[in-house]
Structure 1
């Protein structure tokens, strides 16, 4: 059986649903896992697909006047098209209407029936159409479905049942002796809590008189298979069970079943007992991630707060969307989604940190001839940046195994920030002015090589953007995508001699919507000054609450240059705490770019972004002016950037 390969699955999504951010997150998470393991030279299989039987599909088809299969064929493309757009690299897309899957389900049903694992009995209970599940009276919450809160219907009918109850104690013992089986650990405790009460047998059929759209039971043509029993078997039918033994033994047991926490019971109780009855080993890990929330509320179609992934990728691009989902949610816990939080993380991590580092390396290299030169002997600063990157490589591998992607990505971004600090400390622009060519080449090479390795670490999350970054560093063709994480520590860099290409901006900063609106026209001045009730030339007083709205902070000037075509404007790259920003200021008549580098100034940090002469500005410098003299507001003595002023 599979011990060295990696097999990851998503749930198979119900075709009557429109893909939402929850579907996208699970599938992107699986895709990133698959890409990372492939990058580590591990044989990998990634399965996703759709669940196409059941009452909801049948009702939707009847409403439209089409067959259930036609309904499924027309709606499955929603998922297939979205996965293609999101860059999902699944090895197989299974549909439960696929003939090979239906055949395997029927064979399993017949075998279990022959072994008396399935029996017929009369059932009385409560049924939820939305969840397509039966519940007992004690399961209901205020008389409604405990899962979705919908109304339930009382049903009394004969059905077939799987003897799930006989495996209750075995399952409890298995969970307790296999700590990796259900993750995170608190989800295992939830399942054990569920198993404290008496476990009933599982209804695995529906009479055709009530539901005809399903896999017909091989031992009773008047019934179809219950959708959950049918759906769960996809995890083994898709990798050759009963059809290709060699393939099946290569991939089973699955390394990870990735699921949302709302289907924990079906995967941690129904599925293991089914596998036990069939006689197959358990998957290594069932990993239940949290929900995406709006505020403190789960996203729901009925509440109208569901985020459409297609809308988001139109606004921000696929890779940025993938990065946000992976960095914002700690797998296992819930996370909040808002466009504000997306923009904040995008601007901070991607535009200000990663994009800024690439831009600075490219610009300085282009000014020095455009070819990355081999380094001279490395000094302590160079070695420190290399260590930061190596720490990120190790952290990503650790985070991968622990299913803590957010921590791994944070370690990589720490290496990016270390790259920006490295440039500030080594000041390649100053080295160029001094003519210290050997040292300049070493600095630019070291920073570029850090970017090279960072691009490989981030490629599973942002494959297209990291290929674009590698192109900027002089790579082409297959070199853009064939770099592997497994080679990062063992192989030597091949950067020297490559010609860099300028980038129009790997991650252009996202501006607030108001920044694109034209400023309102000023009102014409009145011919005569109106009389005032009080003395003239007295500044209007404001309340302390009004002043508190203005955020004044210290900022360190990292670099400054003139804005092309504007004699009075300087473009400053500044650091505010750990954040990098760009500010455009009309101070060129009083300060040269060189005189500003290293200064600690005071800025308005919460000013809405503006575009001045085609250049984005994020903040405003404070200055005092009297007559023709102007002085920037600075601080007395040394203080870190990002300190609050006021």
Structure 2
């Protein structure tokens, strides 16, 4: 059974932003780890392309909705390629296969008796693509998220009978492992406890959407349509679009990784829809926090949006990946601080890891014929650094499946710090000048280089390019089929020729304002 993980399907109302990069980088790190741990992975990402907001954005730009979607969708594809995102599927909800699947799914839900007609009256936010609870027509409220006036709607819609699934959803969200982290879980439980209400799944007087079979003038509500994109992605493998094939293709999803603002759709609406269609529900929903910049919400009005393309051009993927995954507890809100970003990358990657490798390799080359020093003590697994290396390995294998990227990164960094301390304490540059110390110097350099090799291997899911550069400096390569075996202490082969050291991580300068 494949390990299926997904990002949200990003709404193409605007350019990709750092928040969507953040989610996708986290998914990419998890996918890379699971592959190295020898799981078959299906990593899904993509875009959600229907709804009134898209139609209006296209109109503003003088484009057809399809042309507009094509343009923004390609920008996501190009950006993910530049960030070396290792997705297996990229789904677009304008794909004809998706329309075919939505119709199949709707037929199942309708056959379950869960589609009814009703009147939807209330204030509607085009930005959120949803009705708000305030139904007082006398006062025109604004959306607290988008800071734009809501629109009054009074129309006939089709409704999904969510209220029928009150008990099932209560039992589902009561499970501690279905929604993480805990604060998101409690938020959903509180919402469910207030009682689930049927929600509309169609819109009228809207041309940009998938038509509802048998209901002229209705198109599917964007959220009903978009959530089904996960299923379309799995079935878009060259086989038939048939919901009965889902299990063999990797459904249910092992985890949906999403922003906290869409937790309700994924943890309540989505499971109920799947139950109605007779399909398994996802195993886990993870709702992470938002990114701010220097303590402020990022937005066009403030002029403080961080362009992920410019960030990548100036600093490279390793620096940004490390900062986002190492400095922020995934699940909590995080703040992108220029000074801290620069200091953290320089201290952790350029100094602690990069300088450790450079100076140790230089000494080994100088005193041991450009080679890995002889290891006279053999594979001494009880050496202090060997014990610390195993601790780091255990922490990484425990942390990454739980999306505890910060914990994993810090464990790797502690190993590098310990190796630096060992080097400083043994001072091989002094001992080499003393008689009969060559064997001891060889041992000290070997264990530090071996620790650095394990650091390089453990970094592979988090900062894959840096990992490769570290291993290249040790004349090693990542073997994706035997990663666990490579992590055993003593894998560095004595006598291996070491290349001339070059910095594996350039120091950063203070970031210019983007």
**Shorter-chain TM-score above 0.5:** yes
Q: Give the corresponding residue for 2:101.
A: 104
Q: Give the corresponding residue for 2:496.
A: 498
- Tell me which protein shows more strand as a share of its residues: 1
Q: Give the corresponding residue for 1:414.
A: 414
| In 2, Cα distance between equivalents of 1:403 and 1:270 | 24
Secondary structure class of the residue paired with 2:193: coil
Instruction: Give 1:374 shift.
Output: 3.0
| In 1, Cα distance between equivalents of 2:192 and 2:337 | 37
Q: Give the corresponding residue for 1:20.
A: 17
| In 2, Cα distance between equivalents of 1:114 and 1:247 | 19
| In 1, Cα distance between equivalents of 2:310 and 2:6 | 25
**Aligned: 1:226 with 2:221:** yes
Instruction: Give 1:359 shift.
Output: 1.0
Q: What CA deviation, in whole Å up to 9, does each residue of 1:259-295 have, x standing for no partner?
A: 0011111111111111111112221110000111124
**Aligned: 1:389 with 2:386:** no
> For the Cα contact (< 8 Å) 1:6–1:254, is it kept in 2?
yes
Q: Which has the larger radius of gyration?
A: 1
**Aligned: 1:114 with 2:114:** no
Q: Give the corresponding residue for 1:171.
A: 169
Q: Give the corresponding residue for 1:63.
A: 60
| In 2, Cα distance between equivalents of 1:113 and 1:245 | 17
**TM-score scaled to structure 2, two decimals?**
0.93
Instruction: Give 1:458 shift.
Output: 0.2
| In 2, Cα distance between equivalents of 1:419 and 1:139 | 65
Q: Give the corresponding residue for 1:563.
A: none
> For the Cα contact (< 8 Å) 1:371–1:499, is it kept in 2?
yes
1:26–1:484 Cα change, 3 Å = farther
| In 1, Cα distance between equivalents of 2:243 and 2:132 | 37
Alignment of 1:81-96 (within 5 A): 81-96=78-93
Q: Give the corresponding residue for 2:198.
A: 201
- Higher mean Cα deviation, 401-410 or 390-399? 401-410
Secondary structure class of the residue paired with 1:288: strand
> For the Cα contact (< 8 Å) 2:10–2:46, is it kept in 1?
yes
Q: Give the corresponding residue for 1:322.
A: 321
RMSD of equivalent CA atoms: 2.3
Q: Give the corresponding residue for 1:456.
A: 457
Instruction: Give 1:380 shift.
Output: 9.0
Secondary structure class of the residue paired with 2:383: helix
| In 2, Cα distance between equivalents of 1:474 and 1:483 | 18
> For the Cα contact (< 8 Å) 1:467–1:480, is it kept in 2?
yes
Name stretches of at least 5 consecutive residues in structure 1 with no aligned partner.
515-646
Alignment of 1:478-627 (within 5 A): 479-480=477-478, 482=480, 484-490=482-488, 493-512=491-510
| Equivalent in 11, 15, 38 of residue 8 of structure 2 | 11
- Tell me which protein shows more helix as a share of its residues: 2
Instruction: Give 1:304 shift.
Output: 2.8
Secondary structure class of the residue paired with 1:306: coil
Name stretches of at least 5 consecutive residues in structure 2 with no aligned partner.
none
Instruction: Give 1:489 shift.
Output: 4.7
1:381–1:10 Cα change, 3 Å = closer
**TM-score scaled to structure 1, two decimals?**
0.75
> For the Cα contact (< 8 Å) 2:450–2:489, is it kept in 1?
no
Q: Give the corresponding residue for 1:313.
A: 312
| Equivalent in 143, 146, 162 of residue 145 of structure 1 | 143
